[in-house]
Structure 1
């Protein structure tokens, strides 16, 4: 004979039985005002750090040397790679600044969050723009003709700092910052506890 099917055991005198079907919660935790403030602080700190990047760019970037014959201004070494080196120096510095920013923000706030990631991205762009402006301001004058007249014919002088690939250089910092932060958060960030067998039915 087959044993009769028995209904599943249920807690006695439990008015909440049977449990309601699981309800879908919101897509994620709501963003708090404190997280928004933290994102703004990250944005401001990254933008201010752009001044340090600009000063380092002026100091470390290779210089392009020019010379004038009294009628025109020419490259002293037409085969030199200093112009490309200026771009490379800026990009490498920006990548380093972005990686450090992502690491610092992760160590300060391991939980992560959308405002922090946005702060790293926007702050990286603002810091790069400030570094670009400061580097071109602190470097040799952009008025090459006036500079050539001031030094005289046959005298070598430095060309102004320029970025040949400005758009790509502006993305180096924010990309490095967001990637480093997201990778660290994904590997070492806090984990949500595994739900128990009755967790979906809790109200």
Structure 2
């Protein structure tokens, strides 16, 4: 008798969990990589947008209110433009005492220099208090500086000599020198505060602002089995 033939053992079935990496474009991802890296997202740092907008509003108001101090200093430091009143044909006329004087230029220059100084100081203070920076902070500095300049202009004019020069001439008498009201002839000076604040703040942010962390690379440590 011959021994019954037994069927050969079945070939070893390949495990459903292959050790080979998936084909390119597959659904596998790097083992050990955080989920937010694998899915192409990352956590957001810093305060939310509502908080940034709220802080920007506070910065705008605080910077704008500083314009009152700028107006006081402008009224105090700006040179006076001398005027003289006279009577011609029974009519009061007012004219410059020194037609070649540069006091009018000095008034505009004083405002511009003070505005540049206020822009520098406000930018430094905002950077120290809000080092992270951001678009809302930059916008707040620009808008606050412009509003502060407008406020300073009006405060300086209000605190300065009276606007009615004829009444002043009649009050002091014929041929007596008196000061002209403050006037800002160069309206471009109203932008000095904003421009100085923006440039100084951007420079401080570029030099001393926080740096973004370096991205962490993940090598081909393996692939998750399907």
TM-score range, shorter chain: 0.7 to 0.9
Deviation at 1:48, TM superposition (A): 0.7
Matched, 1:78 2:95: no
* Structure 1: runs of 5+ lacking an equivalent: 1-8
- Structure index of larger Rg: 2
1:62-77 aligned within 5 A: 62-70=79-87, 71-77=92-98
1:179-190 aligned within 5 A: 179-190=199-210
Question: Which residue of structure 2 lines up, in the alignment, with residue 43 of structure 1?
Answer: 60
Deviation at 1:17, TM superposition (A): 2.6
Deviation at 1:105, TM superposition (A): 0.4
Question: Which residue of structure 2 lines up, in the alignment, with residue 6 of structure 1?
Answer: none
Q: Please give the secondary structure, in 1, of the residue aligned with 2:83.
A: strand
Q: Please give the secondary structure, in 2, of the residue aligned with 1:72.
A: strand
Q: Please give the secondary structure, in 2, of the residue aligned with 1:173.
A: helix
- The structure in which a higher percent of residues are helix is 1
Question: Which residue of structure 1 lines up, in the alignment, with residue 114 of structure 2?
Answer: 93
Matched, 1:52 2:63: no
Q: Please give the secondary structure, in 1, of the residue aligned with 2:181.
A: coil
Calculate the TM-score normalised by the size of structure 2.
0.75
Tell me how far apart the structure 2 counterparts of residues 173 and 64 of structure 1 sit (CA, whole Å).
Answer: 24
Tell me how far apart the structure 2 counterparts of residues 172 and 122 of structure 1 sit (CA, whole Å).
Answer: 12
Q: Please give the secondary structure, in 2, of the residue aligned with 1:110.
A: coil
Tell me how far apart the structure 1 counterparts of residues 29 and 58 of structure 2 sit (CA, whole Å).
Answer: 49
Tell me how far apart the structure 1 counterparts of residues 115 and 204 of structure 2 sit (CA, whole Å).
Answer: 19
Deviation at 1:196, TM superposition (A): 1.4
Question: Which residue of structure 2 lines up, in the alignment, with residue 109 of structure 1?
Answer: 130
* Structure 2: runs of 5+ lacking an equivalent: 1-19, 31-36, 220-226
1:1-203 aligned within 5 A: 17-18=28-29, 23=40, 32-70=49-87, 71-166=92-187, 168-198=188-218
Aligned CA-pair RMSD: 2.6
Q: 1:50 to 1:147 in 2, by over 3 A?
A: same
Deviation at 1:116, TM superposition (A): 0.9
Tell me how far apart the structure 2 counterparts of residues 100 and 30 of structure 1 sit (CA, whole Å).
Answer: 25
Deviation at 1:74, TM superposition (A): 1.1
Tell me how far apart the structure 1 counterparts of residues 27 and 109 of structure 2 sit (CA, whole Å).
Answer: 66
Residue-by-residue CA offset, 1:166-200 (whole Å, 9 max, x unaligned): 1x11100001011111110011100011101139x
Deviation at 1:18, TM superposition (A): 4.0
Q: Please give the secondary structure, in 2, of the residue aligned with 1:69.
A: strand
